[in-house]
Structure 1
Amino acid sequence: MSAVGLAPEVPVLVLAPSDRAPAQARRFLAERFRQLKIADDYVGRLVVTELVTNAYKHVGAGCIVVRIVPDGRGVLVEVWDEGPQLPVLKQLDVEETSGRGLMMMAALVEDWGVRLLDEPGKIVWASWACGKAGS
């Protein structure tokens, strides 16, 4: 009988939906990037802040789960929440004082989207290439 390799465990962060959640998610991302030896976490911090902020502002109940997964050429950030509301890229309105975060995030990452689930909720994700420290 041959041994079957299991996928490595990926750490997750479980958050309460609050105004503290984005800062906790940024700290988690910074630590995860250190573990993965990814030097520049600027885009990652913006991505995780936007996705977690949207989850707590637009859902407000249940929990928020963050995963940061290396994908071979870069990183994938996933944020799960229990809400049915899908993120929407708004048209730029210079009079508005908010609503630009998703647009900024979309401009910085290579790809992003929403994965609907059989259970309540969704996963909003973003991926982009990023270099290892020293490369």
Structure 2
Amino acid sequence: MTSPAASEPPTLVLDSNDAAPRLAREFLAKQFADWGIADDYLGRLIVCELVTNAYRHGEGPIVVRLRRDEHDGRPVIEVWDAGEGRPVVRPEDHAAVSGRGLRLVAEFVQDRWGVRPLVEGGKAVWAKLPAP
């Protein structure tokens, strides 16, 4: 019999500060290694972008959850924060000095990403990684 704690996805709770993206990358790298996923580059890039957005535009602590899709086994990255604002892909602007991250995430995951509201308030932004 599996205990409820064993079925919980790996989760990391971070303070909303400039160390959060680095800690999220380290957490993802360790979890991918535990899962036997050798190439974690795209996962580290995506978790960094989502956590950075939560730090810059969200509110409260940042929660990172990693799981494997039950149908195809692909990794899914979720980043939660208490902010009510929803991220959007900005139109391409070659003169802008920021604002490209979510566009890159959407392209890298082939538009397999989204936002869902949390019952307790805030949101979860998720991205499903493509097959290797």
TM score, norm. by length of structure 2: 0.90
Count of residues in correspondence between the two structures:
128
One-letter identity of the residue aligned with 1:76: V
One-letter identity of the residue aligned with 1:8: S
Unmatched tracts of structure 2, length 5 or more: none
> CA contact under 8 A between 2:13 and 2:62: conserved in structure 1?
yes
Shift of 1:5: 7.9
- Answer 1 or 2: higher relative contact order, Cα 8 Å, separation at least 6: 1
Q: CA RMSD in A?
A: 1.7
Shift of 1:39: 1.3
* SS at 1:39 equivalent: coil
Q: Distance in 2 between matches of 1:5 and 1:25?
A: 26
The Cα offsets for residues 60-96 of structure 1, whole Å up to 9 and x where unpaired, read as x420000110113310000000000100100011110
Unmatched tracts of structure 1, length 5 or more: none
1:46 corresponds in structure 2 to 45
Matched, 1:66 2:30: no
Shift of 1:11: 1.9
CA shift in 2, pair 1:9/1:84, >3 Å = same
Q: Distance in 2 between matches of 1:101 and 1:24?
A: 18
> CA contact under 8 A between 2:43 and 2:129: conserved in structure 1?
no
* SS at 2:64 equivalent: strand
One-letter identity of the residue aligned with 1:121: G
Runs of 4+ aligned residues of structure 1 deviating over 4 Å after TM superposition are: 3-7
One-letter identity of the residue aligned with 1:10: P
CA shift in 2, pair 1:18/1:5, >3 Å = closer
Bigger radius of gyration among the two? 1
Task: Please list, as runs of the form range in 1=range in 2, the aligned pairs for 1:38-117 lying within 5 A after superposition.
Answer: 38-59=37-58, 61-71=59-69, 72-110=72-110, 111-117=112-118
